[in-house]
Amino acid sequence: MAGSANRIIAGGNVFGCWTVDDTITTPTVGSTYALKLYGNIISTDVARQDSGAYNITIEHVEDNATLQTFIEDSVSVAGNVEDLLLEDGTNETSGANRKYIAAVRGGTNGSTGGARKVGVFPVRLSNTSGGWTQAGETYNRVTLEFEGYKLSAPVTLLATHLTDFMTTATPVTLTTSKPYGTVVYG
């Protein structure tokens, strides 16, 4: 196909997130997945917000006790995620919901080597996550909604975090100039 090197078709069918603590000088990212969805994703919507943050909505058919535990452990009933408009015009998301660094694997761009589009974003699970649609003779379709937030300190995902996402895994650092995340090709 002429011009297909500049086009991306379909998704990568992989989503993963790791816990993160960015409130300390040298932030730490968990070494194992807090949640990994692989092969059961119906659709992924990555929506950039006015603030620069990325919200992610995933519809998938993986529905088990592990997923329910992740949802219950991620959302705090004591503190909702709330957007704050600070005096300097900066939007900030606050709340008690657990923080994650998420990676979304996209399709390949048809270039030599098959580089994939990969989004890496700081997120919290929305309190409205975990609902599902069910009907006779079809799999439950569970919806997860992640809301982006601004990192308070730079964070690096190692190449070992991204081996399921990139054709050739390389580290990705979210710096103070990219506190809402970034999209890379690898």
pLDDT computed for residue 97 by the predictor: 76
pLDDT computed for residue 71 by the predictor: 92
Please state the rounded mean pLDDT for residues 10-37. 88
> What distance in Å separates the CA atoms of residue 110 and residue 98, rounded to the nearest whole number?
36
Q: Are 148 and 83 in contact (CB under 8 A)?
A: no
Counting the structural domains of the chain, the total is 1
Q: Which domain holds residue 37?
A: 4-185
pLDDT computed for residue 1 by the predictor: 44
pTM of the model: 0.85
The tens digit of pLDDT for each residue in 115-142 reads: 888 999 999 998 888 888 888 888 989 9
Please state the rounded mean pLDDT for residues 24-39. 89
- Quickly state the pLDDT bin for 143 (edges 50, 70, 90): very high
* Across 91-100, 157-166, 176-185, least confident range: 91-100
